[in-house]
């Protein structure tokens, strides 16, 4: 019996509510000047107040030393082992643009790129063409049928798009065509398993067609593919936890992820304030909320320490609106660390704060990496947070006689 099955066997419906506030890329590293991380630098009186009443700790999204992608980080928070349930990049892009991916579909992430007359890649992102241009070009490529396989092409953002191959006998075991460098031609797609020969063949034909169609659209005169993948078999949260879960997220990828685990994705405005409002407006209709704040991660990726601090402070200033709803369980954490000094996702464990009436409060008086290190939750796997939240909501019965 794995841990999802274990939790499923003891979960019960109850009127209590759980709110997960996920500040993307929350964990950080100290600024060399101050010795304080982004979270430690930010003034967060409201999060600190809850930390004093709650229990803190540090979570490893996958395991110590492993830097997760966004999909893996979030799946772990929702209790799904991210190694068993690996979501491919293509699937993530497709569900992120609300594409209704079916079982058996093969999705790939596409980039528009620039190639020179010799066919060598000169810009892997086609000068980051506008999303409008991307949308226009996707329309040109969309709807082809090759050897009975239908190909859907959907714009994502700037140079990025999602392609979905729908037909019989397809397989995701296909290599990337993105060479990850300039001055070389795009790679040919190769089946990494014999079963995917047909898929690689059709996708290569599609690329050849695209090259002809895009010839006059420089700088977006070619495409690159990576992350061929198909839908993993994710049991719904309603099935495992007997929850009625809702997601509040502005970025398509996170909305798509939430949908993959069976959450209802709520309409929301683009600002952090809008997201908190959406929570309040829908509070009566669900018993689990995933509230996703993207901007902290984006600031971290840009290496902008101060902007990440500002995002955390903005979340803190809105946090009382969440607390005033009086959820039975509040969890505040991140899907991974994105330290501004590293300018990217990292392996560092992520601060987590859990509050409930039954949480056995610890001595942590503020929400920070250093306070969490001595917190009552200790160091946990991210997948263990969901069972803890369920327990604190009194939604799990006893295991074993």
Contacting residues toward a second copy, per CB under 8 A: 1, 3, 6-7, 10, 29-30, 37, 58, 62-72, 82-83, 86-89, 91-92, 227, 229, 339, 341-342, 345-349, 358, 360-363, 369-370, 373-374, 376-380, 384, 386-392, 396-401
- Report in angstroms how near the CB of residue 168 gets to a second copy at its nearest: 26
Rounded-to-integer distance, Cα 30 and Cα 24, Å? 18
Looking at the Cβ atoms of 96 and 327, the one nearer to a second copy is 96
Looking at the Cβ atoms of 266 and 389, the one nearer to a second copy is 389
- Report in angstroms how near the CB of residue 1 gets to a second copy at its nearest: 6
- Report in angstroms how near the CB of residue 113 gets to a second copy at its nearest: 20
Q: Give per-residue burial for 106-131: e unless 16+ CB within 10 Å, then b.
A: bbbbbbbbbbeeeeebbbbbbbebee
157 within 8 A of 166, measured Cβ to Cβ: no
User: Rounded to 5 degrees, what angle do the CA atoms 219, 143, 130 make?
Assistant: 30
- Report in angstroms how near the CB of residue 142 gets to a second copy at its nearest: 23
Total Cβ atoms within 10 A of residue 244: 16
Closest residue by Cα to residue 160 from 198, 181, 191, 129: 129
Give 282-298 as a DSSP string: HGGG-SEEEEEE-HHHH
Looking at the Cβ atoms of 62 and 330, the one nearer to a second copy is 62
- Report in angstroms how near the CB of residue 399 gets to a second copy at its nearest: 5
- Report in angstroms how near the CB of residue 12 gets to a second copy at its nearest: 12
**DSSP state, 166?**
E
Looking at the Cβ atoms of 55 and 189, the one nearer to a second copy is 55
Closest residue by Cα to residue 279 from 333, 309, 253, 318: 318
- Report in angstroms how near the CB of residue 22 gets to a second copy at its nearest: 16
Looking at the Cβ atoms of 202 and 377, the one nearer to a second copy is 377
Q: Give per-residue burial for 278-315: e unless 16+ CB within 10 Å, then b.
A: bbeebbeebbbbbbbbbbbbbbbbeebbebbbbbbbbb
Structure tokens at 66: 């492993």
Looking at the Cβ atoms of 102 and 360, the one nearer to a second copy is 360
Looking at the Cβ atoms of 139 and 360, the one nearer to a second copy is 360
């Amino acid at each position: 019996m794995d841990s999802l099955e274990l939790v499923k066997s003891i979960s019960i419906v109850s009127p209590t509510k759980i709110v997960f506030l996920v500040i993307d890329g929350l964990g950080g590293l100290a600024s060399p000047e101050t010795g304080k991380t982004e979270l430690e630098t930010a003034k967060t009186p409201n999060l600190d107040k809850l930390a004093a009443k709650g229990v803190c700790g540090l979570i490893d999204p996958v395991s110590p030393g492993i830097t997760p992608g966004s999909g893996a980080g979030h799946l772990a928070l929702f209790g799904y082992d991210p190694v068993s349930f690996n979501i491919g990049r293509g699937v993530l892009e497709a569900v992120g643009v609300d594409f209704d991916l079916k079982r058996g579909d093969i999705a790939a992430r596409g980039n528009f790129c620039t190639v020179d007359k010799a066919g060598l890649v000169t810009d892997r992102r086609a000068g980051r063409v506008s999303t409008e241009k991307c949308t226009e070009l996707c329309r040109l490529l969309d709807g082809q049928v090759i050897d009975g396989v239908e190909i859907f092409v959907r714009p994502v953002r700037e140079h990025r798009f999602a392609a979905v191959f729908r037909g019989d006998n397809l397989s995701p075991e296909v290599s990337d065509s993105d060479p990850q460098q300039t001055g070389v031609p795009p790679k040919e797609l190769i089946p990494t398993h014999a079963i995917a020969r047909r898929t690689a063949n059709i996708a290569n034909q599609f690329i050849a067609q695209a090259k002809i169609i895009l010839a006059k659209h420089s700088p977006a005169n070619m495409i690159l593919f990576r992350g061929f993948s198909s839908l993993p078999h994710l049991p719904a949260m309603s099935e495992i936890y007997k929850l009625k879960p809702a997601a509040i997220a502005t970025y398509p990828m996170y909305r798509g992820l939430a949908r993959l685990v069976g959450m209802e994705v709520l309409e929301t405005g683009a600002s952090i304030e809008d997201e908190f409002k959406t929570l309040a407006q829908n509070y009566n209709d669900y018993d689990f909320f995933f509230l996703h704040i993207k901007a902290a991660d984006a600031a971290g990726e840009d290496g902008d320490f101060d902007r990440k601090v500002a995002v955390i402070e903005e979340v803190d200033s809105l946090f009382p609106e969440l607390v005033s709803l009086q959820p039975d369980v509040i969890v505040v954490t991140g899907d991974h660390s994105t330290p501004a000094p590293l300018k990217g996702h990292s392996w560092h464990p992520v601060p987590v704060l859990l509050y409930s009436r039954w949480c056995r409060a610890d001595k942590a008086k503020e929400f920070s990496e250093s306070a969490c290190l001595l917190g009552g939750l200790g160091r946990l796997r991210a997948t263990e947070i969901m069972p803890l939240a369920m327990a604190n909501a009194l939604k799990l019965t006893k295991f074993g006689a």
